[in-house]
Amino acid sequence: MPPTSDTPLPLTGVRVVEFTHMVMGPTCGMTLGDMGADVIKVEPLGGDSTRKLLGVGAGFYPLFNRNKKSIALDLHSARGREVVMRLVATADIVSENFKTETMQKLGLDYATLSARDPRLIYVSHKGFLPGPYDHRTALDEVVQMMGGLAYMTGRPGDPLRAGSSVNDIMGGIFGAMGAMAALMQRAQTGRGQEVQAALFENNVFLVAQHMLQFAVTGKAAAPMPERISPWGIYDVFSVKGGAQIFLAVVGDTQWRVFCEAFGFDDLYADARLTTNNDRVRARDWMMPLLRERLADRDAAELAQVFERKGLPFAPITDPQHLFADPHLQATGGLAPMTLPDGRVTATPLLPLTLDGQRLGLRLDPPRLGEHGRELLESLAYSKPEIDALVADGVLLAP
């Protein structure tokens, strides 16, 4: 909810210490932070590597690390690990997405930390849940290829990854969901637990509808460009001036409305097009005819008719144009945010409301080590002790 709201956020009072990088782990922390948790991002002295990524990775850090505090430490030093252990002792949740061996070497694995605090909830984000594949290094693209999503997105013989880090993002959200479930269970049992989320299993969940399609029909699902649509009209149309628009007519009532709106009385009277399933079977000759009839129409005009008649439609939009989307602006879906380099932009919020309110931005994505001194003071370190840690290269505190 907005910072001005008098209603406490759902996770107010919950502390999360995260050892995460890239997308999956940071998404978990962002989700918990948006819901009010006090999220502390522990970074190496060089910072989360996503701070420096180019291309499609340039948006990773600012998006997935809002509503967090940053502390930068040398975890390979005994004094750095001592600071972290004192910090973890204040946590309800520890979240990580590094290799298991890495966390074990640092003494930050679940077995070690839960022995110190049985109430601790430990969220582990991995490529695979425990099993034959868990030794492999996984990336979003890896699991999209092996998990059927790239096959479904691309054309036959041309697998294509989805245009977003869908498994990383959803995997992190499932990690946050598991953490919240563990908090609820801890309230009943008094004990914490380990929560695991994984890229591959997340991807399998995404394509499960196609697995069940095969189970029901006995026929393999075709890639999306070659799929048998469940609807008669469910397509992108090229119209006047080379513009494109997505139009859908997904039921028999909508078919009547569509034909009346555009004066297609002949099509509505055609017995071959009476039901939706009839129209699906007739797509080979029906769709070229509709494309021809709509080709000289203006995209804006089509949108107005479809909106007025309550028919599904969508403009084809590039992501950068969403900053100016009137719906997002009017509904509070974008929040002003200051980037670590001082530039001001906007960021999309979680796609939900609680009691009619969006979960807003409380903290901008932190500069590296921005909250180091503040956090050590809260752990009862004195100013001379903090200064010594900075001077000795254990703590980065600009």
Q: What is the pLDDT of residues 7-42, one digit of tens each?
A: 899 999 999 999 999 999 999 999 999 999 999 999
Same domain, 281 and 380: no
Same domain, 295 and 352: no
Inside any domain, residue 389: yes
pLDDT number for residue 205: 98
Inside any domain, residue 222: no
The CATH number given to whatever domain includes residue 282 is 3.30.1540.10
Q: Answer for the pair 175, 91: CB distance below 8 angstroms, yes or no.
A: no
Same domain, 272 and 368: no
Q: Answer for the pair 104, 71: CB distance below 8 angstroms, yes or no.
A: no
Mean of all residue pLDDT scores within the chain: 95
pLDDT number for residue 225: 80
Residue listed under structure tokens 């080709």: 295
Same domain, 233 and 189: no
- Residue range of the domain that includes 356: 15-207+325-396
Give the domain-ending residue among 268, 284, 318: 318
Same domain, 361 and 293: no
181 pLDDT exceeds 90? yes
Confidence of residue 3 (pLDDT cuts 50, 70, 90): very low
Give the domain-ending residue among 318, 353, 371: 318
Across the range 104-124, mean pLDDT stands at 97
Inside any domain, residue 172: yes
Between 331 and 227, the higher pLDDT residue = 331
Catalytic residue (choose from 168, 278, 341, 364): 168
Inside any domain, residue 45: yes
Across the range 244-261, mean pLDDT stands at 97
Confidence of residue 44 (pLDDT cuts 50, 70, 90): very high
Same domain, 357 and 311: no
- pTM exceeds 0.85 for this model: yes
Among the listed residues 361, 365, 243, the one whose alpha carbon sits nearest the alpha carbon of residue 299: 243
pLDDT number for residue 5: 54
65 pLDDT exceeds 50? yes
- Cβ neighbors of 38 (< 8 A, separation 6 or more) are 13, 14, 15, 16, 69
d(CA 222, CA 230): 13
Inside any domain, residue 7: no
The CATH number given to whatever domain includes residue 112 is 3.40.50.10540
Q: Answer for the pair 48, 38: CB distance below 8 angstroms, yes or no.
A: no
In 3-state terms, what secondary structure has residue 80? helix
154 pLDDT exceeds 60? yes
136 forms beta bridges with none
Same domain, 162 and 61: yes
Among the listed residues 203, 30, 182, the one whose alpha carbon sits nearest the alpha carbon of residue 93: 182
268 pLDDT exceeds 70? yes
Per-residue pLDDT tens over the stretch 301-324: 999 999 999 999 999 999 999 999
Inside any domain, residue 342: yes
pLDDT number for residue 230: 85
Across the range 237-243, mean pLDDT stands at 96
In 3-state terms, what secondary structure has residue 163? coil
pLDDT number for residue 292: 97
Same domain, 254 and 193: no
Q: Answer for the pair 41, 68: CB distance below 8 angstroms, yes or no.
A: yes
Same domain, 93 and 163: yes
* Helix, strand, coil percent content, the chain, rounded in steps of 5: 45, 15, 40
68-73/395-396 β-pairing: antiparallel
- Cβ neighbors of 15 (< 8 A, separation 6 or more) are 37, 38, 39, 40, 90, 91, 92, 93
Inside any domain, residue 383: yes
Same domain, 313 and 368: no
pLDDT number for residue 229: 81
Across the range 251-270, mean pLDDT stands at 97
Q: Is 168 a catalytic residue?
A: yes
C-alpha separations of 324 from 21, 60, 299, 347 in Å? 30, 21, 19, 12
User: Order of strands across the sheet with 244-249?
Assistant: 233-238, 244-249, 313-315
Give the domain-ending residue among 283, 302, 318: 318
Same domain, 178 and 239: no
Number of domains in the chain: 2
Same domain, 350 and 243: no
Per-residue pLDDT tens over the stretch 335-365: 999 999 999 999 999 999 999 999 999 999 9
Inside any domain, residue 304: yes
d(CA 198, CA 207): 15
2 pLDDT exceeds 50? no
